[in-house]
Amino acid sequence: MSVRIRLTRVGATKQPTYRFVVADSRSARDGRAIETIGHYNPRTEPVEIVVDAEKAKDWMSKGAQPSDTVRRLFKQAGVLPGHK
């Protein structure tokens, strides 16, 4: 089973917010998730990124691969080395 850390969309029509979830790569975008590790709200100023860094690092140490978007957001939040 290939595990990914990715975003799942929540919120009303034209008012998206997202959750960082750990899920099987074969499941649907908004399908069953193994664990929720944070959330992301692009509609606020500044953008709100809340992530449990301990859980994220733990899942990545177990082999979970973050999606490209999640990798970029984790760098912004300081979970991964890079941006901030």
CATH code, 63: 3.30.1320.10
Which pLDDT score is estimated for 67?
95
**Are the beta carbons of 36 and 19 closer than 8 angstroms?**
yes
CA 55 to chain centre: 11
8-47: b (≥16 Cβ within 10 Å) or e: beeeeeeeebbbbbbbeeeeeeeeebbeebbbbeeeeeee
Q: Is residue 72 part of a domain?
A: no
Total tally of structural domains belonging to the chain: 1
The predicted-structure confidence for 30-80, as pLDDT tens digits, reads as follows 888 999 999 999 999 999 999 999 999 999 999 999 999 999 999 999 888
What is the chain's percent helix, strand, coil content, to nearest 5? 25, 40, 40
Q: Is residue 80 part of a domain?
A: no
**Are the beta carbons of 20 and 80 closer than 8 angstroms?**
no
Q: Is residue 47 part of a domain?
A: yes
